[in-house]
Amino acid sequence: MKSNQLRSLSTVGLLWLGLSAGCSPPDPCKNGECCGRGKVTFVRRVEGARAEYGGIVFAFQEVVSAAPNINQASAFTCPTQQAMITALHLKSNTMVDATGKIRLIDSTHAYPYRVWGTIYNLVEMPGFAGPNYAIRLDKVESVY
């Protein structure tokens, strides 16, 4: 009698595991579709890349992608992730000075975040020349 109960319990457990593994919710940002309108193409993954946060953009310490004659080191944040970004309470370490140049507020804390995510090229982004990148964030950690 006890072995039948264990067998039934294990069968139910295996069925539950099998069904739950196949029923994960759909990815709302499959292939970067949530990051921009029109054609979106994969550029690369970043894993713990050092970055500055500037409101709607991350500026990376290293070049994200090198298009012909252009070294791109920044990416817009995906608009659908704004609630997640707001909840992280990220602080911008940059300002625009009187001459219009972007400057660090505290140069001793340059690139204060490590960023994990996928970078996409927003191929059909109107009004901007050159490659326009967006990052779908997986994780952001403060370095300092």
Per-residue pLDDT, 14: 37
In the predicted model, residues of the chain with pLDDT beneath 50 are: 1, 4-22
Q: Is 8 helix (H, G, I), strand (E, B) or coil?
A: helix
22 within domain boundaries:
no
Per-residue pLDDT, 104: 87
107 within domain boundaries:
yes
Per-residue pLDDT, 6: 37
84 within domain boundaries:
yes
16 within domain boundaries:
no
Query: Whole domain around residue 107: which residue ranges?
Result: 28-142
The count of domains in the chain is 1
Per-residue pLDDT, 59: 93
44 within domain boundaries:
yes
Cβ 51 vs Cβ 70: under 8 Å: no
Per-residue pLDDT, 25: 59
Q: What is the pLDDT of residues 36-72, one digit of tens each?
A: 878 888 999 999 999 999 889 999 999 988 777 778 8
Distant-in-sequence, close-in-space partners of 139: CB < 8 Å, separation ≥ 6? 115, 116, 117
Side-chain-side CA neighbours of 88 within 13 Å: the count stands at 19
